Amino acid sequence: MLEIKHITASFGEKKILNDVSLSVHCGELHAIMGPNGSGKSTFASVLLGHPAYTVVATKGKKASIELDGVELLKLATYDRVKKGLFLAFQSPLSIPGVSVMHLLRSAYQEIHPVAKKLEENLGNAIFSKGWSAEGVTLVQFIERVKSIAREISIDESFLKRGIHDGFSGGEKKKVEMLTALVLLPKYAIFDEIDTGLDVDALKIVAAGIERLRKQGTGVIVVTHYQRILSYVHPSHTHILVNGVFVEHGTGALSERIEKEGYAKYEKVSH
Amino acid sequence: MKKSVIDDSYKYGFSKPEKYFYKSEKGLSEQVIRTISGYKGEPQWMLDFRLKSYLGYLKKTLPSWGADLSGIDFRDIFYYIKPTSGKVSSWADLPAEIKDTYDKIGIPEAEKKFLAGVSAQYESEVVYKSVNEMLKKKGVVFLDMDSGLREYPELVRQYFGTVVPPLDNMFASLNSAVWSGGSFVYVPKGVHVELPLQAYFRINAANMGQFERTLIIADEGSSVHYVEGCTAPIYSSDSLHSAVVEIVVKNGARVRYTTIQNWSKNVYNLVTKRTVVDEEGVMEWVDGNLGSKVTMKYPSIYLKGRKARGEVLSIAYAGSGQHQDAGGKVIHLASETTSQIISKSISKGGGRTSYRGLVEVAKGAKNVKSKVVCDALLLDEDSRSDTYPDMRIHEKDVSIEHEATVSKIGDEQMFYLESRGLTKEQAQSMIVNGFIEPIVKELPLEYAVEMNRLISLQMEGSVG
């Protein structure tokens, strides 16, 4: 279970999240909905430990983010990720010269290391950057990446390109989805994965989310619109307005938002 | 051997044998030059060339621009040392730090020993001999410069000092006066050398000379790729290294010259490299500078014939205490000539990189195209990067592009990679390797792999 308790977070002097709590079980799909500026993306960043945000306890209550019983709050971003957390970025920056495949390879080895790490640099320089990941050879891994890429309509040539370098909005989102499917996280957060996608791409991304959920990943979809929720069906919906969860409900709640918007909550919270 | 002020080789506990067959006096004089030339049994014209260069050198002063060279004590240098044939230092004597670096880069055992200067070089000698047999059949000459002068005196005399005149600059004059070692390459008309010629296969008792002199002649329609240096750190006890490289590219010929310089951090590396390219010839300099205390090096290309093309790809890395003043120069002397200079520099831990470049278009050279891209990456607040691009365009009908960027590694890029399970160091080295990738991919595979490993090591701070 991913259990988030009493998280209050600020950016500089500005308080953005105020006493936020949420629990997600394996295989569940949660939607966090809210208007622009409600703190949705901050919520996603704070889970991963983005250095720009400061997390403080709320009114004497103990703040915590526990992943299957392990406290993440004091851990560095990469350690949280190694424990099984994943974030698909809303608008990931490019890293020229670092190919999609190279990043996936490196990330997978870090996140799924073999129990006992083999000594690096055995033998020749060409092979010195050896592969070591649990239960899969490099050849199998590369085949798996290519196969997933095909399934979500990513052309193989993309895997050789610099990550997000010159990619369109939709291509970026698909590569983020590819990354999630390859890395097999225990809990995954998708930040505005539906913005800027055409219907076909939206369906592909939705199918990816459904696939992760079926594999047992606990998924949180952060979104402004109900659009993607026509293709995936959350078991839980949470409405975030001005940094506070104002309502928790089932999938039906998202449909109501589609009709009524956020106006009602915004009046309440002011 | 007495320690000079800037010689910190003792830090590495590097031991050199004291048994020399011949060792010149410290400092330079006409007598030292006569002795060097006499010892080598050189023809009169070479002695005259050396002496003329020496007289020119005496009148020269240090450049008023570029890196700080005030730390060089010219009186405290042995200008010529002929080592005995058998080296006595052993692999076991090498400090753990150096061995460790070699291990981390993952170079094979035999090569490691060679690089460390402790190998008798038998392994390489075998390779060299078989490569040389193959080259001989094609009429290709690949010798050390001293042998080249002995065996091909007329060819050497025709070109030696024509591309880089002995009075060109202070360090070219010095090199012309006291040069020793380096390579001599001649590729006959229409011959394509498929394998890169690697300098470290060329056996030479004084393997890494202080004042190397290289001359490459690619005759009409031929092609060759020459590789100098290596990615592994070269520990030198000599504080001044001043090489001259001259390349003649004839009509329709193609030469690529790749350098990976990784001298130890006590070395002043002041090098003059220049090419003259005839009609439809192509010259490519791939120049990587990772080591040394100070490097000043601007591989140059004179595009003399119509439709000649020149390219300089330059990577510089400056860590703590280092200044890499590098770049490239292209002089368009003929019409329809094209050129490109791409420079990527990285500064870390207070290191300083400078891009210094020149694009010149002579009067009468029409339809010239040139593009200069220089990108600098600063890894912290203490580091520094400067750009000194010079353009001298004396013709109207030209297309000149210049792009320059200075970037820092952004927090968001770091966060993205950390969110993929990478530590800060791993993330940083991935970004840096990505930054230089456009140039690294031009390197021979084994060099590219070692280069990536080396950058990663620099990021860990475990080397340097």
Report chain B's C-alpha Rg in angstroms: 22
**Closest by Cα among B359, B270, B224 to B74:** B270
- How far does the CA of residue A267 sit from the closest CA of chain B (Å)? 34
- Mark yes or no for CB contact B106/A121 under 8 Å: yes
Residue with tokens 């000149």: B400
Q: Return the higher-pLDDT residue of A2 and B454.
A: A2
Could you give the CA distance from residue A18 to residue A59 in angstroms, rounded to a whole number? 10
- Mark yes or no for CB contact A81/B415 under 8 Å: no
Which residue in the set A51, A93, A111 is minimally distant from B416, CB to CB?
A93
Residue B87 has pLDDT above 80, yes or no: no
Chosen from A82, A87, A128, A164 to mutate, greatest number of chain B CBs within 10 A:
A128
Amino acid letter for position B320: S
* B374, B343 contact by CB (below 8 A): yes
Could you give the CA distance from residue A45 to residue B19 in angstroms, rounded to a whole number? 65
Q: Note the helical H segments in B142-257.
A: 145-151, 153-159, 170-178
pLDDT for the residue numbered B285? 97
ipTM for the assembly: 0.93
Residue B86 has pLDDT above 50, yes or no: no
Report which DSSP code applies to B307.
Answer: T
Residues of B in contact with A89 (CB under 8 A): 416, 419
**Closest by Cα among B53, B302, B297, B269 to B165:** B53
Report chain A's C-alpha Rg in angstroms: 19
What DSSP string describes chain A?
Answer: -EEEEEEEEEETTEEEEEEEEEEE-TT-EEEEE--TTSSHHHHHHHHHT-TTEEEE-BTTBPPEEEETTEE-TTS-HHHHHHTTEEEE-SSPPPEEEEEHHHHHHHHHHHHS--SSPPPS--S-GGG-S----TT--HHHHHHHHHHHHHHTT--GGGGGSEETTT--HHHHHHHHHHHHHHH--SEEEEESTTTT--HHHHHHHHHHHHHHHHTT-EEEEEESSSGGGGTS--SEEEEEETTEEEEEE-HHHHHHHHHH-SHHHHHHH-
pLDDT for the residue numbered A96? 92
Q: Does B231 touch chain A (CB under 8 A)?
A: no
Distance of alpha carbon A232 from its chain centroid, rounded? 16
- How far does the CA of residue A98 sit from the closest CA of chain B (Å)? 5
The pLDDT tens digits for B382-440 are: 999 999 999 999 999 899 999 999 999 888 999 999 999 999 989 999 999 999 999 98
- With bands split at pLDDT 50, 70 and 90, how would you rate the model's confidence at A53? very high
Residue B307 has pLDDT above 90, yes or no: yes
Torsion of CA B329, B330, B331, B336, to 10 degrees: -170
Instruction: Share the mean pLDDT of chain A.
Output: 89
DSSP β-bridge partners for residue B359:
B330, B391
Q: Does B371 touch chain A (CB under 8 A)?
A: no
Residue B97 has pLDDT above 60, yes or no: no
pLDDT (average), residues B341-359: 95
- Mark yes or no for CB contact A110/B430 under 8 Å: no
* B451, B288 contact by CB (below 8 A): yes
- With bands split at pLDDT 50, 70 and 90, how would you rate the model's confidence at B207? very low
pLDDT for the residue numbered B89? 45
Lowest-pLDDT range, A145-154, A259-268, B103-112, B270-279?
Answer: B103-112
Q: Does B431 touch chain A (CB under 8 A)?
A: yes
* B152, B203 contact by CB (below 8 A): no
Handedness of CA A26, A29, A35, A41 (dihedral sign): positive
Instruction: Share the mean pLDDT of chain B.
Output: 83
**Residue B159 structure tokens:** 């070109």
Exposed, middle or buried, B169 (CB in 10 Å: 0-12/13-18/19+)?
buried
- Mark yes or no for CB contact B421/A162 under 8 Å: no
Residues of A in contact with B428 (CB under 8 A): none
pLDDT for the residue numbered B4? 36
Residue B228 has pLDDT above 90, yes or no: no
Q: Return the higher-pLDDT residue of A125 and B236.
A: B236
Residue B88 has pLDDT above 50, yes or no: no
Lowest-pLDDT range, A16-30, A195-209, B39-53, B318-332?
Answer: A195-209
pLDDT for the residue numbered B423? 92
**Residue B129 structure tokens:** 């001999």
